[in-house]
């Protein structure tokens, strides 16, 4: 059985036109492996774990694997996989967690910057202003795909939120407008 625990709710706030204060949401996945997703800042390095994914690349300590996540999903362990979700940058990934079994199954998507925070669903300017213009269409598509998959989204800079049909419709309308 997998358990998903948000250790730290991230945040981001615009201080001025060229300054933002932010830290990442940090999430613990407890199961056959102990996994921490988004370890906040470089000053929080003690929180790193044995299995380390950076963007599309898989590392274990100083060993770099040939596996590239843009080609296919990577399964860390039963119920936990990583999928490429380019958007904020080309290397962005989302950790997908299926906790429980059958009817009791709950799907989490730990999205990093694919979703900045829940508010950016209704106000796409929040993610568009920090993303890459060339990747907006891909990010819009990735956001909709992940929203349709998950019961809960754990965004890069805000508290976890539950998905629902209204949020999915908002994203579908944004996809139509791209």
| The two three-digit tokens of residue 98, written as one number | 């299926």
- pLDDT tens digit string along 98-134? 997 767 889 999 998 899 899 999 988 888 877 778 8
User: Which pLDDT score is estimated for 95?
Assistant: 94
Superfamily name with CATH number, domain 3-177: Ribonuclease Z/Hydroxyacylglutathione hydrolase-like (3.60.15.10)
Domain boundaries, the chain: 3-177
Sign of the C-alpha dihedral computed for residues 113, 115, 118 and 120 taken in this order: positive
pLDDT digits (tens, 9 = 90+) for 4-13: 999 888 888 8
pTM: 0.82
**Strand (E) or helix (H) holding 167:** helix 165-177
């Amino acid at each position: 059985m997998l358990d998903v625990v948000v250790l730290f709710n991230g945040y981001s706030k615009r201080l001025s036109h060229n300054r933002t204060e932010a830290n990442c949401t940090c999430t613990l996945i407890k199961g056959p492996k102990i996994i921490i997703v988004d370890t906040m800042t470089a000053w929080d390095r003690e929180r790193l774990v044995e299995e380390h994914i950076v963007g599309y690349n898989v590392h274990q300590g100083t060993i770099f694997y040939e596996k590239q996540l843009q080609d296919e999903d990577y399964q860390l362990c039963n119920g936990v996989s990583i999928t490429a979700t380019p958007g904020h940058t080309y290397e962005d990934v989302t950790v997908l967690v299926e906790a429980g079994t059958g009817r009791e199954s709950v799907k989490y998507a730990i999205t990093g910057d694919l979703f900045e925070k829940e508010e950016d669903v209704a106000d796409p300017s929040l993610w568009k202003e920090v993303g890459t213009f060339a990747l907006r269409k891909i990010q819009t598509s990735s956001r909709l795909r992940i929203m349709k998959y998950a019961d809960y989204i754990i965004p890069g800079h805000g508290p976890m939120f539950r998905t629902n049909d209204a949020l999915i419709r908002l994203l579908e309308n944004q996809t139509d407008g791209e």
